Amino acid sequence: MTSTLTPQRRMRPSPASTGPAATRSGTGLRRAGVQLLLWLYAALAFGPLVLVLIGSFRDNADILRQPVGLPTSLGLDNYQRAWETASLGTYFMNSVVVTVASVTLCVAVSAMAAYALSRWRFRGRALLAALFISGLMIPAKLGLLPVFYMYQSLGLIDSRLGLVLLYAASGIPFSIFVIMGFMRGLPTELEEAAKLDGAHEGRMFVSVVLPLMRPALAVVTVFQFAPTWNDFFYPLVLMRSDDKYTVPVGLTRFFGEFAADRATLFAGLVIALVPLAIVFAFATKHIISGLTAGMSR
């Protein structure tokens, strides 16, 4: 008797190829591939930092002779020369003053504005919020020419105050966007209870709302601190005195016309990275929760 098996039955895959074991195998391969890509990205991101850290303990002759290598001895001579002889200490303090002041001003103004736009009901509220958020679509550097002429007329050229105001204003749109998104997800029961207890608007904002805003404030602090600390463009254009330059501009002083002090430059780069590492270390636990709340609600 001849076989009467249909083509569909003959082509049916075996249960072993579509069962739970095959699914787990595919998931494991995908997970291994993702982990491999993450490790590769980490190596590409941290590799240059490790080379800079190692190079900060070497001398120029050793670096020129063997660009990639270990230091023959561990000493802080390069750091001392960068901090004192190359005036990196002056540039560092300028960066600290400008960055801390601008971030504080930006976060304070953005928190109050986001609270008002999220909780108060008044005519033109939606238009005002759209006006703030529209700042995200316009690169701040496009307005450099009018800002330069305005600063010139106000006497803010070669002034740390001018940098503080400019950095704070450029960070307000993003900060309001994140804090407003976070505020929409916060319950209003605590604020209503504070009103029933007789708390005025300012006391309620400071005592009730600000503690709840902490994750969002950590996010905007980090995202404002990093680009302000690393900015090279505005100090180069708006500052004139050498003793008022910030760290990114000051690091260019390690380059001469025909040569560069690479060992001192590497030490200066390590010093410049320390504040960023400290800020990220303290704010890491709030960054993910704040970004998720601010972007998804």
Read off the pLDDT of residues 156-206 as tens digits, 9 standing for 90 and up: 999 999 999 999 999 999 999 888 888 888 777 777 777 777 777 777 777
Q: How high is the pLDDT of residue 1?
A: 46
**Class assignment of domain 96-246+278-294?**
mainly alpha
Across the chain, which distance is largest between two alpha carbons, in Å? 104
Q: How far apart (Å, rounded) are the C-alpha atoms in residues 177 and 212?
A: 16
- CB environment 38-77: b (16+ within 10 A), e (fewer): eeeeeeeeeeeeeebeebbbbbbebbeeeeeeebeeeeee
Q: How high is the pLDDT of residue 248?
A: 92
Q: What percent of the chain has pLDDT over 70?
A: 86
- CA of 198: how far to CAs of 119, 191, 192, 207, in Å? 18, 11, 10, 13
Maximum mean pLDDT: which of 81-85, 235-239, 264-268: 235-239
With bands split at pLDDT 50, 70 and 90, how would you rate the model's confidence at 20?
low
Q: How high is the pLDDT of residue 191?
A: 73
Residue 296 CA, chain-centre distance (Å), reads 19
State yes or no: pLDDT of 294 exceeds 50: no
Residue ranges covered by each domain of the chain: 96-246+278-294
Q: How far apart (Å, rounded) are the C-alpha atoms in residues 297 and 128?
A: 20
**pLDDT tens digit sequence for 205-233:** 777 888 888 888 888 998 899 999 999 99
Output the average pLDDT for the chain. Answer: 81
Say which residue the tokens 């503080």 belong to: 164
Q: How far apart (Å, rounded) are the C-alpha atoms in residues 236 and 18?
A: 63
State yes or no: pLDDT of 133 exceeds 70: yes
Q: What is the DSSP letter of 254?
A: G
Region of residue 198 (phi > 0: left; psi between -120 and 50: alpha; otherwise: beta): left
Three-class DSSP category at 287: helix
